[in-house]
Amino acid sequence: MKKDIHPQVNKNIKITCACGTVFTTSSTLDDFKVDICSNCHPYYTGKQKFVDTEGRIDKFQKKLDESQKKKAAAKNKKSKEKEKVTDEPKTLKELMEEASKKS
């Protein structure tokens, strides 16, 4: 067997979960943190729980609110444009100006 090809094994390292549970084990890594463990995993506990370490749910809710605000603003803008429509016939100059704005 070749010498110095195997990684260094640390005997007593601490693994810390996001729920606060601390495990002691052996590993090639130093102390580290995990997002989910057997004490808080839905499969082991039987309880449904959202694991949101990066704020993904909050980020999605924020995007959803912004899109609804934009839709409401666009709807208000359309209704204001409809109110501007008058019953008077437009002159040729006005028709040409509208055509140049649209293109």
pLDDT higher at 84 or 16: 16
Contact (Cβ atoms closer than 8 angstroms) between residue 53 and residue 36: no
Rg of the chain, C-alpha, whole Å: 31
Q: Are residues 40 and 13 in the same domain?
A: yes
Q: Are residues 7 and 42 in the same domain?
A: yes
| Known binding positions for Zn(2+) | 17, 19, 37, 40
Count of domains in the chain?
Answer: 2
Output the pLDDT for position 89.
81
Contact (Cβ atoms closer than 8 angstroms) between residue 17 and residue 36: yes
Q: Are residues 26 and 66 in the same domain?
A: no
Examine residue 7 and state whether it is found in any structural domain, yes or no: yes
What are the beta bridge partners of residue 86?
none
Provide the domain limits for residue 67: 52-81
pTM above 0.85, yes or no: no
Q: Are residues 22 and 42 in the same domain?
A: yes
Q: Would the pLDDT of 44 be above 90? A: no
| Known binding positions | 17, 19, 37, 40
Output the pLDDT for position 35.
85
> Which CATH number do you get for residue 4?
4.10.80.400
Pairing of the two strands 10-17 and 22-27: antiparallel
